[in-house]
Every structure is written in C-alpha cells, then in structure tokens.
Chain A
Amino acid sequence: MSASTDVQLSRYAVEDARPTTFLERGVTVPFTTPMLLGSRVRPAQRRNLEVAIPSPAGVRGFYILPLQGISDICAPTLHDRLMLDVMESLSTVAPNTILRIARAAAQEGLAGRAAAAAALAAERTVSGQKTLTNYLLLLRLVAQLEHPSEGRASPESDTPADVQARAKRAVARLAQSLGLTPERVFAALESLAEAYLDLGLPGDPTKARYQQQLSQIEALSAEAASWAETATDAHLASSASLISRSAFFTLNCGRVLLVDLLALVDDLSALVQRWTANPDAILAELGKLAWLLDGWSIIASIWGTAEQIGVPAAIREMSVMVPSMPLEVNQWVRGPEKDYFAEAHRRHSRLVSRLEEWRTGRVLELIQRNEMIVKSFV
C-alpha cells in the first residue's frame, strides 16, 4: 500500500469509538462458554436483542450478531443455551433483567450445584433485605417528619410497637401533605425499598450489591496497579495499568453517583411525591449505578480466580473486557476527568489479543472458572 493511500485511509479513522449511551454499550451476560464471557447484549433494530462478543478471533474489536446466531460461531454450554432461550423473548434489556435471568438460570443447576445454591441464597437474602430496607426507610420517614418539639427519642432506640405507631403517624402526615391515601404512601415506600435494594441506604451499606461492587473495584484497581508496577512484560504491564485506571475512573464516577442517589432519601417527602408522579423516572435514576458498574463484577471475578488460568492470561482476558465508558456518563456524573480514559482505551485497544487459552485445549478449565464467576455474579 502506498504512503498516499495510508494518508487517505487515516482520514477515515474513528477518533472516538465510545458508545453514546449505556444501553448502546449493552449489558454483560455471565456466559460460561469461554468464547462468550464478557459479551454484551443490547436491543437490535428489529425488536430483539443482539450480542457483541469481544475479540472472538483473538484480535481487536467486537463481533456483533443476533442472539440466535451464537450457535453458528460456537457450541454454547447448556447453561448458556438456557440463558439464550430466555433472552430471545426480550426486546430490551437492563442490568437487573440480566441479573434476574442469571439467577433463574443458575438455579436450574446447569452451572453447577454451587452456583445454584448461591443463586437460591441470593434470592432469600433479597427477600430479607427488602424487609430491612423498608423498615429503614420508615425510620427515616419518622425522623424526618416528627417535629423536634415532639421531644421523642430517636426511632432506632424506640420499642418496635412504638416505632410502628410512629411510622403510621408519619405516613399519615405525609399522605395528608401530598394529598394521597396512607395506603398509597405505604405502597410507594415499599416500592422504593425494592428500588433501593441493590444500592443500600446510608445506614446499611454492607449488604447492598453495588456498594460491595464499588469496594471490589477499588481493590481491583489497587491490585492491578501494583501488579503492573512489577510486571516484566511491557504489554501485560500496559494491560494491567489500563484495567487499574479504568477501574479507578469507574469507581470515582460510581462514588459520585452513589452520593447523589443516597441523598434522595434525605427528603423522603419529595422522593415519595416524585415516585407517585413518575416511578419510571426514579427507577431510571436509581438504575444508573447498575449501568455504570456493569461488567466489572465479572472482571473482578476473573481477577479473584486468576491463579486458575494464570495471572498473565487473566490480565489479557480482563483487558479486553474493560468496558468503554459511554459519552452519556458526562450527563450523569459531574467531576471526574474522563478524557484520559478514552485515550488510554483507544491506545490499548490496538494492542490486545484475547485469551488464547480457549483455543489451546483449556476449555474445560475455563468453563469451570466461568461457573465460579456465575456463582459470584448471582
């Protein structure tokens, strides 16, 4: 190819290949088929889903195809066939949809008994967590609506019977001020408790899914950075560094979002009013953290099980899965500097080659490892 042709072609290079929205980026599915791990599904043009498979041929880029086309390029595991079966009926997708499907599929047992038990335990925890979150919201409502002149003790230190009575009064007050029935307010609080389940509340951060994920990402960022510092292979060091910096950037965005979302419960009157007027808008707002963190739990699990396939192989695999940050993040988060991430990702994406292990006869080990990833995902 002549130099002049090179120059002409360079004019068509895509300078910023980042997706515009998080929906366009898609949602990561915890597939167990080695070739499919890290794939993302997103709505296609014809009211169904398509899948973007990272680096299927070991080179840069994604392979995008309809869900039904997956069996043309590989033999999915039985667990993945079950997931695909359910996903085929969907026209749109969100992180919570995939989480629900993954839990249901894992409970069928095709990713192993350990993953099935984890999925079942997660569902049981959700139910307990929902009750607790609802209770905590009621305590907050009491604290926010009782006038200081009433001179009551804090609801946390009160007896259960008194708390119940105070909660009823608070709900009645709120219902009156918003022109709603108390039943409607109770129902709104119940729905909000469900919506806050994975975010947690300021007083109960430990069990909430996305707060746990932020901690995981923080640890991953630090560990990958320290691995990069001591790596002798420059290519791998660059990959580990990309993972670390991307994780750090996501963590910073996630923290800003979390603070904003948790702040909403500081004024439950306004939140309940907004919820009763337009619950979908609140759900969309609360769902932002899930979209932002999507994909990182799988990357963190690969890191957690890196010894199984070897740390260099894990780094290579993780670096291909590092999610591009959609431009939409600029509207969601104010503060963290974004541009370095795009640059680093673009520079790095010219270098990566993905996971030779599944092409070199280690498929069974990788499927087993991926089943452990499913176990922690659900």
Chain B
Amino acid sequence: MSTPGLAHFRQLGGALSQASPQQLARVISVIDALPDRAEADTILSRVRPRLRGKGFPRPLRFVRLLFTPLDGVIVAPMDWRPGMITVPRSALAPLAEAVHRSLGNFAERIAAGCNGHHREDSATVLELGRQLWPAAAAALPAAPPDGWRQTGLADSDYAPIRASCEAGWRHGVALWPALRGAAEGPPPELCREPLMAAADEGLQAFEIVLRLVLIDAACPAGVAALAMEIASGGGHHLVLAAQRATDQALAASIARVSAARSVPEEDKGNAAAAAARAAWALIEDFERSALVGTPQRREKLLALRQVADEACRAGFSETLADGFLTPVTSWVRNMPADPSLEIAKVEEAARCLRRIEAAGRRLGGAETYDRALRSAAQTVMEEARSGGEASPLRRADVMRLAEILIGPDAAERLLGGLRPPR
C-alpha cells in the first residue's frame, strides 16, 4: 500500500532520475550529510544505477565500507524475493549495527578511520576493508538482530541474507583487485583466486563471488568461461551455478545497454560514445565465447546486438542533431561569443559521432552511418560557404571537421585540396 509519504518519495525519486549529473551530485551531497538517511535512500533508489561508476564522491562511512565488496548484489527492497542471493538495501542498517556492536572498539576505530575519506579513495577502502571484512564475516549473530523486523523482512530471510554477506566479506579482500579491474575485463588472472577459493567453500560462496565479479565486468563472458572451468572441477551444482551466472550476465548486459539510452547526461555525445563502445565490447566478448553456443543464448545474444544497434543509432542521431548540426547551422544567424570554444565543442561532437559509428557499423547499417557523416561534412562546407564573413567557420575549421567526420582523404577531396583553389 502506498502511504502519502511513499508516494512523495517516489515522485522525488522520479524527478531525480531526470536530473543532470551536476544536480544529482548536489542532491547526493545533501543526502550523505543527513544523520538518518533511511527515507532518503528511498529517493535514491531510482538513480542508483546512474551512480554506479560515475565517480560522484561519496563520504566513506562504516556502513558503506562494510558493504563495499557486496555493492553489486545490493538491490532495492522491492526487487528482493526470498531465495535470491542478493541483499535488500533495507537490511544494511540492522546488519551494520549488529556488526558494529559485535566488534565494539575495533569497529569504532574503523569508523574513525573512515572520517575525511571518500568511497573513491580505493587505497583507504582496501586498507580499512582488509581489517574490517574478515572480522565482519564472523561477527553477525545467529538470530536476527535488533531492528530486523522494522525492515519488513521475515525472520526466515535473515539466514540466507547473512550467508550472502558473510561470503562477500570473507572473500572481499581477494575480490578487490577483480572488482577494481572490472572495466578492463576484469582480467582472468585477477578473478581466478577468489573464484577458486569460493568454489572450495561451497555453492553459495561461489555464486555470490561470481555474481560480484560479473556485475560491472566489461567482458563478462571471459569471466563466465573461467568460472565454468573452475566449476567443472567442483561438481555439477557449481557448473549449474556458473551456467546460471552466464545467463544472468547476458540478461544483465541487455538491460545495461538498454538503460544507457535513457540516461540524461550533460555531455550526451560522450556518454553515447562511451555506451556504444561498452556495448560493442560486451558483444565482442560474448561472440568470442564458446558459452553462447546454445540456441537460447544465441537468441539472447541476438537481442543484445539488436538493443546495442538501436542504442548506437539513437545516440548517433541525437549527437548529430543536438551536438553537431544545431550549433553549426545556427552560427550564421547568431555568431557565437567565443567561436573557438564553440568550434571545439562541435569538433568533440564530431569525434563522438565517429566513436559511435565505429561501434555501430559493426552492428549493421554501415552505409547509413557513412551517408550521415558525409552529409554532415557537406553541411559544414555549405554553411561556411553561404555564411561567408558571418560564419565563424574558417577554411581550416571546415577541413578539420570534415577530416574528423570522413577522414583526411575524403576531406581533402571534398574541399578540393589542402590549400584554397586559386
């Protein structure tokens, strides 16, 4: 049932999901300063996917440090169901309190060590985490702690949630390099040790560690293949877990590529280019993998290609229209106050177009991209020609823009040579 308060929070959360990165950063800094943030967390739940990897500086607190290795499996309470290996966000506060109480002065020292640091300060996180996580893995009580009921979770939910947290904390230090290296794959050599240790421990640990390694992985298929190799020596139940993780990784990839389209960004061109590149890296990774041999996974891969193709086309069209053509065609009417700055912005948009095109053409529609880029270069040339003195575009600017869009050979042909024809 929705109370008026909850409805209000949802409304705020909805507004926040449309906020620019700068506005979002300001709101987060206010929320982070609140003494009790339970309600504010409801507002943030809508924008959490955007916060991941965006580098918003978040103050390091005991709770945040404690759950850092588990970040990838923490979900909104409404998305959690019994039987899942994930951890509902509403459980964090009572679990953290229980750990804090159990560790006493040691926890106080760790909390004091967090002061003045940010979550992004990875050296501090590792230094403190190295002490806290192994200790926390043995600190939770056998029965649900105080405050558990207020979370809306049943007593029977406590044991599996506790087991997930303990597995994450036990392997947190070994996992750290793989979590930090997610954007680079992560490389298999960083994943092998934590996966093998978790496999030795049992199914739940293996599942949770594998999920954590896969959550932000730029190349999840490589990790899944390694997990399969490790699981094959540990029994059928581990193999099944690795297969489930592969399916989840494919489904999550589709969701990730889809979600990147609807994110409002200040710098749309660069965001679209980064999303296109990441989408192509995912596809390339899965296509290289022997794991997607089954018809079901081939189908999911096709769906991923399709979503990525659509995302690339949409990102390309938006960047072309908003970042490139709109400013270029408006200059004749409104000479920019700082032409060099505006031209630099349009050049950046042109580079973004090329980056999106580089990923997009491999998903299909190469000719469409080529035609659009040629036409954009032609537009720049015509704008400069028709604008004459009223246009800020000099011949060198036109040549550079054409070069970025269609390459140096085609640009030289389009402009009739390096130097103006006599």
* Interface residues in chain A, defined as those with a beta carbon under 8 Å from any beta carbon in chain B: 75-78, 81-82, 85, 108-110, 112-114, 116-117, 361, 364-365, 368
B407 CB contacts on chain A under 8 angstroms? 75
Partner of B351, one of A108, A110, A361, A364: A364
- Closest chain-B Cβ to A107's Cβ sits at a distance in Å of 9
**Contacts known (A77-B408, A82-B418); A112 close to B351, Cβ less than 8 A:** no
B408 CB contacts on chain A under 8 angstroms? 75-78, 81
B351 CB contacts on chain A under 8 angstroms? 364-365, 368
Q: Would you call A78 and B397 a contact (CB within 8 A)? A: no
B344 CB contacts on chain A under 8 angstroms? 112-114
Which residues B97-126 have CB closer than 8 A to chain A?
none
B404 CB contacts on chain A under 8 angstroms? 364
- Closest chain-B Cβ to A35's Cβ sits at a distance in Å of 13
A110 CB contacts on chain B under 8 angstroms? 396, 399-400, 403
Nearest residue, chain A, Cβ from B355: A364
Task: Fill in one digit per residue for B391-422: 1 if any A CB lies within 8 Å of its CB, else 0.
Answer: 00010110110011001110110000010000
Q: In whole angstroms, what is the CA distance A112 to B347 when docked?
A: 9
- Closest chain-B Cβ to A311's Cβ sits at a distance in Å of 13
Does any Cβ of A come within 8 Å of B170's Cβ?
Answer: no
Can you identify 10 A-B contacts, CB atoms within 8 angstroms? A75-B408, A78-B403, A78-B411, A81-B418, A108-B396, A109-B397, A109-B400, A110-B399, A113-B397, A116-B396
Q: In whole angstroms, what is the CA distance A113 to B343 when docked?
A: 9
Q: Considering the complex of A and B, which 6 residue pairs feature the smallest CB-CB distances, nearest first?
A: A109-B396, A113-B340, A364-B351, A78-B408, A78-B403, A361-B358
Nearest residue, chain B, Cβ from A371: B400
A108 CB contacts on chain B under 8 angstroms? 396
Nearest residue, chain A, Cβ from B347: A112
Q: In whole angstroms, what is the CA distance A364 to B356 when docked?
A: 12
Q: In whole angstroms, what is the CA distance A335 to B354 when docked?
A: 52
Interface range, B side: 20 to 34
- Closest chain-B Cβ to A230's Cβ sits at a distance in Å of 11
- Closest chain-B Cβ to A29's Cβ sits at a distance in Å of 17
Q: In whole angstroms, what is the CA distance A116 to B408 when docked?
A: 19
Q: Would you call B358 and A112 a contact (CB within 8 A)? A: no
B412 CB contacts on chain A under 8 angstroms? 78, 81
Which residues B205-249 have CB closer than 8 A to chain A?
none
A361 CB contacts on chain B under 8 angstroms? 358
**Contacts known (A78-B399, A361-B358); A109 close to B418, Cβ less than 8 A:** no
**Contacts known (A81-B418, A368-B351); A75 close to B396, Cβ less than 8 A:** no
- Closest chain-A Cβ to B127's Cβ sits at a distance in Å of 16
Nearest residue, chain B, Cβ from A71: B409
Q: Would you call B403 and A109 a contact (CB within 8 A)? A: no
- Closest chain-B Cβ to A298's Cβ sits at a distance in Å of 21
A75 CB contacts on chain B under 8 angstroms? 407-409
Which residues B345-394 have CB closer than 8 A to chain A?
347, 351, 354-355, 358, 394
Nearest residue, chain A, Cβ from B277: A361
A113 CB contacts on chain B under 8 angstroms? 340, 343-344, 397
- Closest chain-B Cβ to A231's Cβ sits at a distance in Å of 15
Q: In whole angstroms, what is the CA distance A78 to B397 when docked?
A: 12
A114 CB contacts on chain B under 8 angstroms? 340, 344
A81 CB contacts on chain B under 8 angstroms? 408, 412, 418
Q: Would you call A112 and B418 a contact (CB within 8 A)? A: no
Q: In whole angstroms, what is the CA distance A355 to B407 when docked?
A: 21
- Closest chain-B Cβ to A72's Cβ sits at a distance in Å of 13
**Given known contacts A364-B351, A364-B355, what 8 new A-B pairs fall within 8 Å (CB)?**
A75-B407, A78-B399, A78-B411, A78-B412, A81-B408, A109-B394, A110-B400, A112-B344
B340 CB contacts on chain A under 8 angstroms? 113-114, 117
Q: In whole angstroms, what is the CA distance A316 to B397 when docked?
A: 32
- Which among B396, B397, B407 has the highest number of chain A CB atoms within 10 Å? B396
Partner of A78, one of B347, B355, B418: B418
- Closest chain-A Cβ to B330's Cβ sits at a distance in Å of 19
Q: In whole angstroms, what is the CA distance A81 to B417 when docked?
A: 10
Nearest residue, chain A, Cβ from B340: A113
Q: In whole angstroms, what is the CA distance A368 to B51 when docked?
A: 29
Q: In whole angstroms, what is the CA distance A117 to B340 when docked?
A: 10
B397 CB contacts on chain A under 8 angstroms? 109, 113
Nearest residue, chain B, Cβ from A33: B408
Q: In whole angstroms, what is the CA distance A339 to B358 when docked?
A: 47
- Closest chain-B Cβ to A74's Cβ sits at a distance in Å of 10
A365 CB contacts on chain B under 8 angstroms? 351
Nearest residue, chain B, Cβ from A364: B351
- Closest chain-B Cβ to A31's Cβ sits at a distance in Å of 12
Q: In whole angstroms, what is the CA distance A116 to B407 when docked?
A: 21
A78 CB contacts on chain B under 8 angstroms? 399-400, 403, 408, 411-412, 418
- Closest chain-A Cβ to B398's Cβ sits at a distance in Å of 10
Q: Would you call A85 and B354 a contact (CB within 8 A)? A: no
Q: In whole angstroms, what is the CA distance A184 to B400 when docked?
A: 48
- Closest chain-A Cβ to B345's Cβ sits at a distance in Å of 12
A76 CB contacts on chain B under 8 angstroms? 408
